[in-house]
Amino acid sequence: MSIRVPHAWLLGLLLAVACSSPEPENVTITATDSGGTGDVTATATATATADSTGGGSEQEFPGDPLTFFIEETTQFAPVPGVAGCNNDDLNNVGSQLQQAMLAAGWTGEYLNNAQGSTYHFNDPFASEGSPFGQEGTFADSRRVTVYASHGNINFLQWGQPGPTPTGAEGVCQLIINDAMRLGSLVGDISGAAIYATSCTAYVHDNKLIETLFVGAQIGQHFGWHNSPHISDPLLASFFDQTGTSIIDGKDTIVPVHNREAFIGIGQSKPGLSRNSPVVYTPGQTAPEVVDRHFNARMRLGIGLENVIPEPQNPDIYNYAWVDHGTSPTCEP
């Protein structure tokens, strides 16, 4: 089944599905791309569905099997002798993403609550990495890496220490640009990361670059500038949409890319107002960044190259985001 929309770019895909309060039809959404490669603005119309053609004849991922690593914390409580574990409990967004990825033929691992550990994201060779870090066998050992929990600028939180390597200290917090190096040093497999956390992709004051460029030299990052309300199917909807296509007003088949899908779906939230989603694409050269930023399609593995060129250039990048405000809890 195909649908017809009046614009070539569909930034508002599945807003009604991902949100408990359906969005009105024909809502115009504007997303702005900014970065060292220049500024581009795209406008599109929200809709509720798209076909699942997989983008017609586009070449799918030619490399090794498509793999994922998802870690999620939904339960938080004080832990005797361990600081920083307590917070509000959260809903579960990772299990539906896991199901969607398995249904698409991916393989991977999903760890929830007490199964998770900061050490799974800690690189022993990062500037403040623990010698007990296990990033290379967990978070940086699969093509797509996801962490879903509480967070803030440059910060991820767990609700319990989880499996702690022998001789290591049980901890519930990780500073991204000090202790995590997805896509470099140990592991070096991850090509994209999703941070289903608050403020981790905070755009202002150069925090986006200072956090994610330093903490992960990989091909593409997905997160939120504010403290989002993420519904259970949101991440799964984003993933599925990157394997679909639409028909524009000129009967042209238009594939749905990561950028459009995440910016559209990432805005939706239960109730009033919207989230502020961000897609950040770094790289080594401007052509590489432009190609991945506008053409990557996660479900098909497009943009998940075997090796993302490193070292990336902090002055060559692009990011797309929609600013629906900043949460008071986001602390620069």
- pLDDT by residue (tens digit) across 204-231? 999 999 999 999 999 999 999 999 999 9
Neighbours of 167 (CB within 10 A): 7
Q: Stretch 43-61: mean pLDDT, rounded? A: 37
User: Which positions ≥6 away from 62 have C-beta within 8 Å?
Assistant: none
9 pLDDT band, cuts 50/70/90, is very low
**For residue 19, pLDDT beyond 70:** no
4 pLDDT band, cuts 50/70/90, is very low
Candidate from 107-111, 171-175, 271-275 with smallest mean pLDDT: 271-275
The pTM score is 0.85
Task: Specify which residues 42 forms β-bridges with.
Answer: 31
> How confident is the model over 72-101, as pLDDT tens digits?
999 999 999 999 999 999 999 999 999 999
**For residue 193, pLDDT beyond 90:** yes
**For residue 249, pLDDT beyond 80:** no
**For residue 31, pLDDT beyond 80:** no
**For residue 54, pLDDT beyond 50:** no
Distance CA 42, CA 39 (A): 10
Q: Stretch 304-316: mean pLDDT, rounded? A: 88
Residue ranges of alpha helices (H) inside 87-217 are: 94-103, 176-179, 207-208, 214-215
> How confident is the model over 134-181, as pLDDT tens digits?
999 999 999 999 999 999 999 999 999 999 999 999 999 999 999 999
How long is the chain?
332
> How confident is the model over 278-287, as pLDDT tens digits?
999 999 999 9
Q: CA-CA-CA-CA torsion for 48, 7, 238, 57, nearest 10 degrees?
A: 110
Q: In what order do the strands lie in the sheet with 67-72?
A: 40-45, 28-34, 317-321, 277-282, 220-224, 192-196, 144-148, 67-72, 107-112
**Nearest Cα to 22, choosing from 50, 48, 49, 51?**
48
- Max Cα-Cα span within the chain: 63
**For residue 60, pLDDT beyond 70:** no
- Mean of per-residue pLDDT scores for the chain: 83
